[in-house]
Copies of this chain bind each other. A is one copy, B any other.
Amino acid sequence: MQNYRAPIRDVLFSLCELHGNFPYPQAMSVAQGLGDDEAPMILEAIGKFAERVLLPLNSTGDREGAHWDNGKVTAPAGFKEAYKQYVDAGWPRLGHAEEYGGQPVQFSLKLASDEFLHSANQAWCIYGLLNDGAIRTLRSHAEREQVDAFVPGLVSGEWIGTMCLTEPQCGSDLNLVRTRAEPAGNGRYRIYGNKMFISSGESDWADNIVHLILARLPDAPPGTRGISLFVVPKRLPAADGSLGEVNNVHCLSIEDKMGLKGAATCAMSFDGAEGWLVGKPNRGLNCMFVFVNKSRVGVALQGVAQAEAAYQESLAYAHTRLQGRAPGGMREPADPLVAHPDVRRMLLTQRAIAEGGRALVHLCGKWVDVVDSGDAVSRDEAEQRLALLTPIAKGLLTELASEATDLAIQIFGGHGYIKESGVEQRFRDVRITRIYEGTTGIQGMDLLGRKVLGPNRAVLDRFIDEIQAFCDTAVSEEIASLQQRLQRAATMWRELTDELGREAGADAGLVGAVGVDYLMLSGYVTLGYLWAQTAAIAVRKLASGCEDPAFYRAKLQTARFYFDKMLPRVATHRACIESGTDVLSTDDALRGATA
């Protein structure tokens, strides 16, 4: 029952109209040799692949799941063949340097096309998901020899990368990493330890797997300052560069999960596996930061992708399912669900999440483009903006993706609870996005504690200045109403941040207690800014007699919906922030179960 069409027009609106006059034009020209019409062609081609090849494998992958048998991992039927098509088409090469076989395009374009893949089949995407991060990490920190050995295979997609952080006792808290690395004397290290929750730690569909793994050197200090990064391949390179002997890396089992069943989440054992140090000793976390931040934007994108697909499926169902009499309705034997105001409320919520979320992810993508291509000054600004926006995008959009997919179940009613409808799978699959790459709680503490109340306060002020300047720009009477509400929300955001800054010094628990509420509030104001800009573009287009007025009227209605029915959520988050830590600080209610 799953059906999905890659929303090319909406993606191009976001990339070219909403973010088209991005203040750093050099970000637009990073893709040397990529003509103006090539971006739509890439989007079309990847969209078709997603619709025709990946989507049909989505529910079958969920039913079948990944298999583990005596250390061998097999993906669901069709996954490997689809990946071969993907590699043969050269798409893994997008966004990478030519010298390693890549085809350089803007990161924002790559994000845009990745959305289609995740909408069609999130589980399938997991297998190749970490290649980009692995490539960037190796290129930034590894010795040339390792870059040459591992990057080309990752760029072509013939090899896949993993990120091995988590251990049984060590989830969000990397202080607790126990895996150790011993010098092997030949410039190599031997890795000993167990890692868990490793996405595609083992599989049958790549010639080699390149693990980036955190471990401790023998004399390392305790805590995160004693963690180093290593690259450990499944198969070691032979002297002639071909694939050599098999390394001591084993997949002990795969997890039975709530969703993403088609993806293999592996428990891995490194039993003296050979590898190389990446970057400086004990500086592994710093090397990983590049990886983690990019990954977080990618996870936000997964949320957007699932919200979009859930919206499309809900809308189609709401047009065909006849049930009940709507206000002013007249169809026999009943009106379609889409005529009912409560169903319209749910559909517009999904739409506002999907399209507003896409705008936010693309905004992050544009700043990455500036980091990749700008001069030193703009790169510095871009890095700060990204540092601010990344936890907002990751935290807010994954929470809202759960909401959008959950609403799909609700719109389908009893049929949504049945696997055949396909929408409950979207909820289960996307549920992990609120957890991996740092839970929403972690994102909230990162945003408030490490960024806003830390070195990034000035960049928040610049962002709010930008919002307020937009609010002061005359567009039309209709937009003025949105601008006024946005102005109030942005001012409140700034004042609340001031207040938290004053209180945080004396209240060690404050950041943790209100971090999630602060993140959500920040996110709703940010989405409000993007929706108000969208509405302003739509009003101008409609006034100028554009070719597709229906498209812009829909944007305008969704923007108004966002302001009427979603932005008011800031009121609750504000009240929760203002009530502070008091009620969380005593132990009365949360004693152990035996108390």
Q: Which residues of B contact A569 (CB under 8 A)?
A: 572
Complex formed: what's the CA distance from A440 to B434 in Å? Answer: 25
Q: Which residues of B contact A588 (CB under 8 A)?
A: 550, 553-554, 556-557
Q: Which residues of B contact A575 (CB under 8 A)?
A: 568, 571
Complex formed: what's the CA distance from A427 to B434 in Å? Answer: 15
Residue of B with least CB distance to A419: B256
Complex formed: what's the CA distance from A100 to B162 in Å? Answer: 66
**Contact, CB under 8 Å: A256 / B344:** no
Q: Which residues of B contact A328 (CB under 8 A)?
A: 508-509
* Binary interface encoding of chain A residues 169-190 relative to chain B, with 1 for a CB under 8 A from any of its CBs, else 0: 1111101100000000000000
* Shortest 5 CB-CB contacts between residues of A and residues of B: A568-B575, A341-B512, A327-B508, A341-B513, A564-B579
Complex formed: what's the CA distance from A334 to B224 in Å? Answer: 13
Within the complex, the shortest CB–CB distance from A514 to chain B, in Å, comes to: 8
Q: Which residues of B contact A547 (CB under 8 A)?
A: none
A342-B445, A554-B589 are known; give 13 further A-B pairs, CB within 8 A: A171-B413, A172-B413, A173-B323, A259-B417, A327-B508, A341-B509, A341-B510, A347-B590, A410-B434, A416-B435, A557-B589, A568-B576, A568-B579
**Contact, CB under 8 Å: B568 / A572:** yes
**Contact, CB under 8 Å: A583 / B557:** yes
A86 at the interface (CB under 8 A from B): no
Stretch of A124-132, A314-322, A370-378 lying at the B interface: A314-322
- Contact surface of A with B, Cβ cutoff 8 Å: 5, 166, 169-173, 175-176, 197, 255-259, 312, 315-316, 318-319, 322-328, 333-334, 338, 340-348, 351, 402, 406, 409-410, 413-420, 424, 427-428, 431-432, 434-436, 439-441, 444-445, 508-510, 512-513, 515-516, 550, 553-558, 560-561, 564-565, 568-569, 571-572, 575-576, 579, 581-586, 588-593, 595
Residue of B with least CB distance to A4: B593
Contact of A583 among B257, B512, B564, B591 (CB under 8 A): B564
Q: Which residues of B contact A169 (CB under 8 A)?
A: 322
Residue of B with least CB distance to A586: B557
Within the complex, the shortest CB–CB distance from A310 to chain B, in Å, comes to: 13
Q: Which residues of B contact A343 (CB under 8 A)?
A: 441
List 30 A–B pairs whose Cβ atoms lie within 8 Å, in order of A's numbering.
Answer: A5-B593, A176-B333, A256-B420, A257-B417, A258-B424, A315-B592, A316-B592, A318-B590, A342-B515, A344-B513, A345-B516, A345-B584, A347-B590, A348-B590, A351-B589, A410-B439, A413-B439, A414-B436, A417-B432, A417-B435, A554-B589, A558-B589, A560-B583, A561-B589, A564-B579, A565-B579, A565-B583, A568-B576, A571-B571, A571-B572
Given contacts A341-B584, A508-B328, A509-B341, contact A348 B589 (CB under 8 A): yes
Given contacts A258-B409, A564-B579, A584-B341, contact A324 B589 (CB under 8 A): no
Contact of A590 among B315, B325, B435 (CB under 8 A): B315
**Contact, CB under 8 Å: B593 / A176:** no
Within the complex, the shortest CB–CB distance from A191 to chain B, in Å, comes to: 21
Q: Which residues of B contact A341 (CB under 8 A)?
A: 509-510, 512-513, 581, 584-585
Copies of this protein in the assembly total 2
Residue of B with least CB distance to A346: B441
**Contact, CB under 8 Å: A593 / B316:** yes
Given contacts A341-B581, A351-B589, A440-B410, contact A419 B257 (CB under 8 A): yes
Complex formed: what's the CA distance from A439 to B346 in Å? Answer: 13
**Contact, CB under 8 Å: B418 / A256:** yes
Q: Which residues of B contact A324 (CB under 8 A)?
A: 172-173, 175
Residue of B with least CB distance to A438: B413
Within the complex, the shortest CB–CB distance from A76 to chain B, in Å, comes to: 17
Residue of B with least CB distance to A256: B419
Complex formed: what's the CA distance from A418 to B436 in Å? Answer: 13
Residue of B with least CB distance to A336: B592
Q: Which residues of B contact A434 (CB under 8 A)?
A: 410
**Contact, CB under 8 Å: A590 / B258:** no
Complex formed: what's the CA distance from A587 to B315 in Å? Answer: 12
User: Of A348, A427, A435, A590, which is in contact with the most chain B CB atoms at under 10 Å from its CB?
Assistant: A590
**Contact, CB under 8 Å: B593 / A348:** no
Within the complex, the shortest CB–CB distance from A254 to chain B, in Å, comes to: 11
Q: Which residues of B contact A435 (CB under 8 A)?
A: 409-410, 413-414, 416-417
Q: Which residues of B contact A555 (CB under 8 A)?
A: 589
Complex formed: what's the CA distance from A344 to B424 in Å? Answer: 29
Within the complex, the shortest CB–CB distance from A330 to chain B, in Å, comes to: 13
Within the complex, the shortest CB–CB distance from A184 to chain B, in Å, comes to: 28
Q: Which residues of B contact A592 (CB under 8 A)?
A: 315-316, 319
Q: Which residues of B contact A322 (CB under 8 A)?
A: 169, 176
Complex formed: what's the CA distance from A347 to B588 in Å? Answer: 12
